[in-house]
Amino acid sequence: MTEATDSTGGTGSTSGLDFTGSVVVVTGGSRGIGRGIAEAFLAAGADVTICGRSEPPADALPTGGGRRAMFVAADVRDAEQAAGVVAATVEHHGRIDVLVNNAGGSPAVPAADASARFVSQVVALNLLAPFFCAQAANRVMQEDSGGSIVNIGSVSALRPSPGTAAYGAAKAGLLNLTRTLAVEWAPKVRVNCVVAGMVATEAADHHYGGATGLAAVAATVPLGRMGTPADVAGACLFLASPLASYVSGAALEVHGGGESPAFLTALAGTDRSESG
């Protein structure tokens, strides 16, 4: 069952997680979270296109369900190249049913030291690129049978983001963009956002200083572990499926329960019986 057959009011049956016949585009789908998303859609029966600035070796492309993802070289911060990814997908597969705007990220730089060029590039990747890709996909979906757009956001949009101020601000903008597009493009196209928490990837391993750092961070998560690309992928499959046919403009938080309030950490080990 494809998303397109049920994008505006489906039955909600469990067959919604079978994407046989569907065509899915995942930006930044060659590694990390994006790769996990691409592999999950492939395993569910979809044909998948991924994109990125550098083409991986053919044998390194995501696989699943007996199929390999198709790759299109593009810098999705450029509107014409973003549209080219959608055009290449439609030319090859004849349609597009689901777009997952996954490409994003930012190195850590103190806000006081971030150059204008750096800030512009971070905002372009995390906010403008999803906008450009969504515009291109929507044009096709509106002329066809509809579809689903899923933006990959971050908990950095919901709280202070020291060291990655431009990233957090861009992801906050992505939440607003999600809700606005859900209104403008309804009823044929649903637009939702997965608000991802801390996810264990190669990049996270480097960011948190290896296994020891990852374990320390995981201990702060109520569910006791970091997320995985598969956790984010599962949310994407749900939001793109007929099971979510009445879900649009939503921000689904996939963060293991969030973060323990700072005051509880500060009070740990203190004797509160002496208060008052």
For 130, residues 6+ apart whose C-beta sits below 8 A from its C-beta are 27, 101, 103, 104, 151, 174, 177
For 87, 120, 163, 164, the CA distances from 114, given in Å and listed in that order, are 35, 10, 9, 9
How far apart are alpha carbons 213 and 138 in whole angstroms?
41
- DSSP codes joined into one string, 50-108: EEESSPPPGGGS-EETTEE-EEEE--TTSHHHHHHHHHHHHHHHS---EEEE-------
Q: Is 246 one of the catalytic residues? A: no
Which is the catalytic residue, given 19, 41, 71, 167? Answer: 167
Contact (Cβ atoms closer than 8 angstroms) between residue 98 and residue 46: yes
* Residue whose token pair is 């990049």: 203
| Active site positions, annotated | 167
